[in-house]
Amino acid sequence: MKHKQLFFFAVLLALWSAIYLGTITRPALFDDADSFHAEAVREMVQSGNWTTLHIDNGIRYLEKAPLMYWMAAASVSLFGLHDWAIRLPLALFSLFLALLVWRFGTRYWGEDGGFYSGLVILTALGPFAFTRIFIPDVILSFFLAFSLYMYLRIAVDEEETPRRIGPVDLRCAGLYASAALAILTKGLIGVVFTVAIIFFHILLTRNWKVLRRLQIGYGVVIFAAVAAPWHIAAALANGDFLWFYFIREHLLRYLGMRYPKDYDTVPLLLFWALHLVWLFPWSAFVWGLGGNFPRTLRPTDKQSAVSLFLFLWIFVILLFFTFGTTQEYYTFPTLAAFALLLGKGLSDLTSPEGATRKWGVVSLGVTAVISVGTGAALIVLAWTGNHGAAGGSLSSTLTIHPDQYNLAFGHLHDLTPATFAHLAPLVLRTAAYLIVGPLAALLFALWRRWTVCFLFLAAMMVGLTHSYTSGMSAFEPVLSSKSLAKTIQYYYRPGDMIVINDFYEKGSTLNYYTGLQVYVMNSDFGVLWYGLQDPDAPKLTLTEKELMDKWKGKHRIFLFSEKRPLQSFLARHPDLNYRVLAGAGGKEVLINW
């Protein structure tokens, strides 16, 4: 490795360590997807069943592809059941994705362009935010990007002498094996995106001769060898798997017709516009992408051909979600392509023979104004809340908008000025990063010290990601029930019952952190709905009448509830004899003993 490349690798590794490893141990896992996905890992390790996922100590969970759970289960088997061990695969694939984008960019943009591409994907806000929850999208993005990188090497690098194992081109083997791993990561979408992007690229460029070099016959064999075994095993172990997984969880979910509909969709224009947030602070330079937009569908130079492919990559994914449901993190597979295009733009700014740098300075100036305005707004909010009713716990400053919680970042609607006042030191530190970072970067840009400018923005993101983590940790009592789970675990004895006064996801951390089975008062919604209908599934649903009968009986019961459902429940049962065992984050645990 050359000295310059070694330096670039060291910088990327240091940034990854500071951003991803430095935040891997906190906060606690959250209720909902974060903890019940982790619970599936815990039960996989405990049961030794790596074919069918289970949650709540034995309830089938057929919704998801297994690869992320396998990786986390291997991590837990090696290191023990720790939150950081659960998160380790996502952190590692954040590094793998950054190194792949760096290699991808270096091949087609040169050393500087490759480094800037890796810098963008590693320090942008979106990839970090989307890996704070235990979901597989960073792993999917890596395998998708690797498949498409292999395709480009076949389609664009015609002069490259392929390495082979027997008759098989290793680039083709990598393409098909990676697409198969993508399908094992997040279902059919892994192969749909790969096939659609390649198909439209061949269609638009009319480069039909590339089909001969793709070795489709060998590819089908490689793809099936990797992807088929688990699907076959899951279908043999679960007679309803094929319908449930492919029809209900793929087709009906995409069309918004799945029942129960325990998810929501982001408005389409907002879904597109949020790319500017997810690419922050590098969205400052997104306006320069137009300069790299190909002027023809059949460019003759390699860089233009690659740029065309990257724009097509983004367009196909956005077009796909135009006709289906969208969550904020569904945009993740586009971010590698954006990072590569931005890396090319940043390289052009530093190149002596590059285009005018005026657009870069102006764009960075606009971003600095927006960022400084945002930082000032945070200070005002903290000051306003401090001069209002900001006393009490953090949860007491929040408003409640349960209709928004089916979106990944729906809890942002709960924030009030009093919330910002309660977190004033953190808010002021975050505001300082937002104000100082872009202004200093703009100053270096005006001095034409572009590399220093970019590194300053990356350093700013180290601070912001740690502020993000500190904020999530501050909200841990609200978003997680770990402390209540540990209290229940301390007092629990065989024969006791843990009951969630709602559906499972409201208190799924109770299941994960105690390792104990939980009962629910509502099974008509959420991830337990289907599994509880199995003929041999344990009866984990209680009606209010059944709960009241048991409450007065010999069983010790821990009743977990959020504030609003609890108030409604107690209003219906004013004579209930109970004690409050513990409370945190607007949630309480009542006991009957």
Single residue among 282, 315, 350 that ends a domain in this structure:
350
Mean pLDDT for 34-52 is: 98
In-domain check, residue 585: yes
Q: Any alpha helices (H) in 157-301, and if so which ranges? A: 170-186, 189-205, 210-213, 216-237, 241-242, 253-254, 268-273, 275-278
Q: Are residues 232 and 376 in the same domain?
A: no
In-domain check, residue 89: yes
Residue 403 has pLDDT above 50, yes or no: yes
pLDDT-derived band of residue 10, with 50, 70 and 90 as boundaries?
very high
DSSP secondary structure string for all residues of 538-570? ---B--HHHHHHHHTSS--EEEEEEHHHHHHHH
Q: Are residues 120 and 247 in the same domain?
A: yes
Residue that wins the pLDDT comparison between 192 and 258: 192
Contacts 24+ apart (CB under 8 A), 236-241: 237/51, 237/52, 238/52, 238/60, 238/62, 240/62, 241/62
Least confident of 254-268, 387-401, 451-465, 526-540: 387-401
Q: Are residues 458 and 329 in the same domain?
A: no
Contact 65, 186 (CB under 8 A): yes
Residue 1 has pLDDT above 70, yes or no: no
DSSP secondary structure string for all residues of 152-174? HHHHT-TTS---EETTEEHHHHH
Q: Distance from CA of residue 272 to its chain's centroid?
A: 17
Q: Hunting for tokens 């872009």 — which residue is that?
A: 438
d(CA 200, CA 216): 17
In-domain check, residue 127: yes
* Per-residue pLDDT at 390: 46
d(CA 479, CA 405): 11
Single residue among 350, 384, 413 that ends a domain in this structure:
350
Mean pLDDT for 35-57 is: 97
Question: For a pLDDT cut of 90, what percent of the chain falls above it?
Answer: 80
Q: Can you give the length of the chain in residues?
A: 593
* Per-residue pLDDT at 323: 87
Q: For 57, phi and psi rounded to 5 degrees? A: 55, 55
pLDDT tens digit string along 349-371? 987 655 567 888 999 999 999 99
Instruction: End-to-end CA distance of the chain: give it in Å, rounded.
Output: 67
Owning domain of residue 14: 3-30+62-350
Q: Considering its fold, how many domains does the chain have in total? A: 3
Q: Are residues 331 and 376 in the same domain?
A: no
Q: Are residues 243 and 335 in the same domain?
A: yes
Residue 60 has pLDDT above 70, yes or no: yes
* Per-residue pLDDT at 354: 52
Mean pLDDT for 480-498 is: 97
* Per-residue pLDDT at 186: 97
* Per-residue pLDDT at 391: 54
Q: Are residues 528 and 469 in the same domain?
A: no
* Per-residue pLDDT at 300: 82
pLDDT-derived band of residue 398, with 50, 70 and 90 as boundaries?
confident
pLDDT tens digit string along 270-328? 889 999 999 999 999 998 888 888 888 888 889 999 999 999 999 999 999 988 888 88
Residue that wins the pLDDT comparison between 261 and 505: 505
Q: What is the mean pLDDT of the chain?
A: 93
pLDDT tens digit string along 404-461? 655 567 667 788 888 888 899 999 999 999 999 999 999 999 998 999 999 999 999 9
Residue 498, helix vs strand vs coil: strand
Contact partners, residue 137, CB within 8 Å, separation at least 6: 130, 186, 329, 330, 332, 333
CA count, 13 A, side-chain hemisphere, 145? 29
In-domain check, residue 413: yes
Single residue among 479, 507, 535 that ends a domain in this structure:
479
Contact 60, 508 (CB under 8 A): no
In-domain check, residue 558: yes
Residue 24 has pLDDT above 60, yes or no: yes
Mean pLDDT for 61-76 is: 97
Contact 556, 550 (CB under 8 A): no
d(CA 115, CA 120): 9
Q: Are residues 78 and 135 in the same domain?
A: yes
Strands in 519-520's sheet, in edge-to-edge order, are 519-520, 497-500, 557-562, 587-591, 579-584
Residue 109 has which token pair? 């943009």
- pTM for the predicted model, two decimal places: 0.95
Helices 170-186 & 216-237, crossing angle to 10 degrees?
A: 30
In-domain check, residue 501: yes
d(CA 494, CA 486): 16
Q: Are residues 268 and 397 in the same domain?
A: no
Q: Are residues 301 and 399 in the same domain?
A: no
Contact 280, 120 (CB under 8 A): no
Q: Hunting for tokens 């096939």 — which residue is that?
A: 195
In-domain check, residue 281: yes
In-domain check, residue 133: yes
Residue 389 has pLDDT above 60, yes or no: no
d(CA 198, CA 414): 42
Q: Hunting for tokens 């000295």 — which residue is that?
A: 3
Q: Are residues 284 and 346 in the same domain?
A: yes
Mean pLDDT for 180-206 is: 96
Contact partners, residue 153, CB within 8 Å, separation at least 6: 107, 160, 171
Q: Are residues 587 and 440 in the same domain?
A: no
* Per-residue pLDDT at 353: 59
Does a cis peptide bond (omega within 30 degrees of 0) precede residue 281?
yes
CA distances from 425 to 115, 129, 383, 434, 508 (A): 34, 21, 11, 14, 31
| Amino acid making up residue 501 | N
Residue 311 has which token pair? 């724009």
- 332 closest CA partner among 127, 498, 29: 127
CA distances from 279 to 148, 151, 158 (A): 21, 25, 33
CB burial string 490-501: b at 16+ within 10 A, e below: eebeeeebbbbb
Contact partners, residue 476, CB within 8 Å, separation at least 6: 27, 28, 482, 585
pLDDT tens digit string along 127-181? 999 999 999 999 999 999 999 999 999 999 988 889 999 999 999 999 999 999 9
Q: Are residues 131 and 233 in the same domain?
A: yes
* Per-residue pLDDT at 152: 97
